[in-house]
Amino acid sequence: MNNLQNYINKGYNKLVLTKRIPYEMQNYKKIENILYNEFGFIIEETSDKVHFKITIFGPENSPYENGIFEAEISISKLYPLEPLSLEFLTKIFHQNISIKNGYTYLQISSCWKPSYGLVYMAIRTYLLLLRDQFYYFGVLNENAFKMTREKENYGDFLLKVKEYILKYAKMNNEESEKYKYFIENIKKEREKAKEISKSNYNNYISINYYNLCVNMNPITINVSVNMRIMDILEQIMGSENKNFYFVIFLGQVIDSRKTVKEAYFYNNCHIFIIDEMTGIY
């Protein structure tokens, strides 16, 4: 009896394991290179369709830069009605991640929708490492929490993060090369975006956006280069929707007050929209 059948016998939804998960992985594979180039993460499935390995390159300009972290995403018997869970396999110093078991608080229970999935979870994890601000709910590492709350101790927090990276997130030659490629590539892409935005602007450009609040299928819209990001969000999400959203472009969270031109969006570029609940300071 294979692993998949074992989990079905344990009460996991057969349709989820045989239809939903393959469909999600199929969608992921379609834009795997885009996600890798812009975020620096890789999702790998296992034979049981219940556990998934995610490898994340510590985001540039974050406390976790230069680290390569492995985590495991798991589905429950009630997925997709309840959210995925995530545990870091690599020890990491972060106030919302347990040092003991790697359990991670992503504050998604209250905003979870059945349409969300593996890629949504991976990007939420990326945001957790990228942001210099952390959830003040769901504290799982009291020492990290105290250091990030008190400005005079923030330097100690950064040192502790680097200490953990050196000790637990060591890179072999292959991983080191992957990380170097990602950093070099993302820097080149950002510079290229700036150059393109300066020289090739017309009044309107096309943007491919991925609304991770709904699904992973890209939608193309035409926008004015003088349009603010917040106005694009209102056009996409609807003015009646009062949730707070992040727009991510080339691995960076974009200030929604900026215009398309100020954000260096260029024709046929890819942007990602993800919701983020309040509870961050």
Which of 21-30, 116-125, 206-215, 266-275 is predicted with the least confidence, judged by mean pLDDT?
A: 206-215
The model carries a pTM of: 0.81
Say how far apart CA 205 and CA 263 lie, in whole Å: 13
The CATH number fitting domain 193-275, selected from 3.10.20.90, 3.40.50.620, 3.40.50.1820, 3.40.190.10: 3.10.20.90
Any residues with CB less than 8 A from the CB of 189 and at least 6 apart, and which? 37, 38, 250
Per-residue pLDDT of 194-208, as tens digits, reads: 888 776 666 889 999
For residue 280, name the pLDDT band (cuts at 50, 70, 90).
very low
Can you give the pLDDT at residue 107? 67
The CATH number fitting domain 3-174, selected from 3.50.20.10, 3.10.110.10, 3.30.9.10, 3.40.50.800: 3.10.110.10
For residue 278, name the pLDDT band (cuts at 50, 70, 90).
very low
Contact present, 140 and 133 (Cβ < 8 Å): no
Can you give the pLDDT at residue 243? 62
Say how far apart CA 198 and CA 240 lie, in whole Å: 34
Would you state the torsion angle of the CA atoms of residues 46, 48, 49, 53, taken in this order, to the nearest 10 degrees?
-30
Can you give the pLDDT at residue 115? 84
- Kindly list the distances between the CA atom of residue 124 and the CA atoms of 106, 165, 218, 253, in Å, as whole numbers in the listed order: 7, 20, 18, 12
- Kindly list the distances between the CA atom of residue 44 and the CA atoms of 55, 82, 184, 244, in Å, as whole numbers in the listed order: 8, 21, 23, 30
Per-residue pLDDT of 56-68, as tens digits, reads: 988 888 888 888 8
Question: Tokens 């990030």 label which residue?
Answer: 148
Question: Tokens 């834009």 label which residue?
Answer: 31
In the chain, residues under CATH classification 3.10.20.90 are 193-275
pLDDT over 90 at 128, yes or no? no
In the chain, residues under CATH classification 3.10.110.10 are 3-174
pLDDT over 80 at 165, yes or no? yes
Contact present, 88 and 104 (Cβ < 8 Å): yes
Any residues with CB less than 8 A from the CB of 43 and at least 6 apart, and which? 25, 28, 52, 53, 54, 73, 118, 119, 122
